Structure 1
Amino acid sequence: MTPEQVEALIRGGCNVAEMGVQSNGNHYDIAVVSDDFVGLNAVKRQQLLYALVREPIAAGTMHAVNFKTYTLEEWQQAQRMGLA
């Protein structure tokens, strides 16, 4: 899958403010900024996103996925601190 296809999958099921997808073969690093994450712990955020990419993982087109998740407020804070 291309990074653009992965981004389209996630945008189709999540209200994304910002997103970045990097791939190396079928390994993906994905950063998602969404207020859908407000009030969710890290595990719940991951579960929400994994549900959106379940089919490509099951089909083997995605093998390893690493998510970084932020609410819009967390993202803005990380940028102010130079962490993003």
Structure 2
Amino acid sequence: MTAEELQSLIAAGLPCEHIEVTGDGRHWAAVIVSPAFEGLRAIKRHQAVYGTLGQRIQNDEVHALSMKTFTPAEWAGQPRN
């Protein structure tokens, strides 16, 4: 799996205003900004992202995924480099 494929899977399952995926083919890091995260705690946000990956998580196609999840308002308040 490539970063682009993983990004597409997440974006197909969640409305994303911003998404960045990096990794080495098994271990991934993602920054995901979605209005769907409004009112959700971190665990529910992560579960929503895992839900977009379905069997790929269970089949170990995606071994590890580290996530930073934000609502659009939270993302707007984040410092940029």
Both proteins in one fold, TM over 0.5: yes
Question: Residue type matched to 2:75 in 1?
Answer: W
Match of 1:33 in 2: 33
Counterpart of 2:64 in structure 1 is 64
TM superposition score normalised by structure 2: 0.92
- Name the CA distance, whole Å, in 1 between partners of 2:35 and 2:67: 15
- Matched with 2:53 is 53
Classify the secondary structure of the residue corresponding to 2:39. coil
Q: Which runs of 4+ in 1 moved over 2 A?
A: none
State the TM-score, normalizing by the size of structure 1: 0.89
Report the CA distance between 1:51 and its aligned residue: 1.0
Partners of 1:48 and 1:57 lie apart in 2 by 13
1:34 and 1:70 mapped to 2: Cα distance? 7
Q: How many Å separate the matches in 2 of 1:34 and 1:77?
A: 14
Counterpart Cα distance in 2 of 1:2 and 1:9: 11
Count of matched residue pairs:
81
TM-align CA RMSD: 1.3
Instruction: Name stretches of at least 5 consecutive residues in structure 2 with no aligned partner.
Output: none
